[in-house]
């Protein structure tokens, strides 16, 4: 049982940390540099391949297996081990891992899923039906405002894929509203 916990902790921990570093150093900057062409990439990764879900599961398995290993090594969370240098080091690592998982659950995964939906709406070339009810209307003539997406969580999903300005130039606000 202990070997299984160690394998789960190491393998999923490597995947979790490696994916985070790859995303931060390579994927996100490349998608931003591609501008609107980055939409299909994010759609494939977040929407079809469900990377955010795998990423979250890997984080949860890493934390849960680490919890089991810590419990075993501390012989039921005894005070002596927890005050040792090794116990404190593992404890500090556990705190950082818990913070990362909580951020993953409440911030990263929802943002990635919205990004995948945005990319799907862009690839479909519209989104009028999905988002028409959320689009802000101008008082003069009922024209849709090119800045309707400014009220959609600060346009964060749009900026994540680096296409905020291109949508403003094209006046494609129904797509922006589709992800709100």
- Are the C-beta atoms of residues 176 and 149 closer than 8 Å to each other? yes
Q: Are 5 and 69 in contact (CB under 8 A)?
A: yes
pLDDT score, position 112:
79
User: Following DSSP, what letter does each residue of 130-147 receive, concatenated?
Assistant: HHGGG--B-TTTTPBPTT
Please state the pTM of the whole predicted model: 0.64
Q: Please tell me the predicted confidence (pLDDT) of residue 43.
A: 84
pLDDT tens-place string over residues 143-159: 444 443 433 333 443 33
Which of helix, strand or coil describes residue 63?
helix
pLDDT score at 126: 56
With 0-12 CB in 10 A as exposed, 13-18 as middle and 19+ as buried, what is 3? exposed
Expressed as residue numbers, the domain containing 100 is 2-178
Residue 10 has a CB neighbour count (10 Å cut-off) of 12
Query: Number of folded domains in the chain?
Result: 1
Q: Is pLDDT at 88 greater than 80 in this prediction? A: yes
Q: What is the average pLDDT across 82-90?
A: 92
Residue-wise pLDDT for 41-80, tens only, equals: 888 888 889 898 999 999 999 999 999 999 999 989 888 8
pLDDT score of 169 more than 80: no
- Secondary structure string (H, E, C) spanning 93-123: HHHHHHHHHHHHHHHHHHHHHHHHHHHHHHH
pLDDT tens digits, 114-129: 877 777 777 777 544 3
């Amino acid at each position: 049982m202990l070997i299984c916990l160690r394998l789960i902790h190491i393998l999923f921990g490597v995947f979790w940390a490696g994916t985070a570093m790859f995303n931060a150093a390579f994927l996100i900057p490349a998608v931003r540099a591609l501008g609107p062409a980055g939409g299909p990439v994010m759609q494939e990764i977040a929407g079809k391949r469900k990377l955010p879900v795998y990423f979250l599961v890997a984080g949860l398995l890493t934390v849960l297996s680490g919890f089991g290993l810590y419990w075993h090594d501390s012989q039921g969370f005894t005070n002596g081990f927890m005050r040792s240098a090794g116990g404190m080091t593992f404890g500090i690592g556990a705190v950082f891992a818990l913070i990362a998982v909580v951020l993953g659950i409440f911030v990263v995964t929802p943002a990635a899923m919205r990004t995948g939906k945005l990319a799907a709406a862009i690839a479909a070339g519209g989104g009028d039906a999905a988002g028409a009810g959320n689009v802000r209307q101008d008082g003069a003539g009922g024209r849709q405002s090119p800045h309707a997406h400014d009220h959609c969580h600060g346009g964060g999903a749009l900026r994540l894929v680096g296409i905020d300005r291109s949508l403003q130039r094209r006046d494609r606000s129904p797509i922006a509203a589709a992800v709100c």
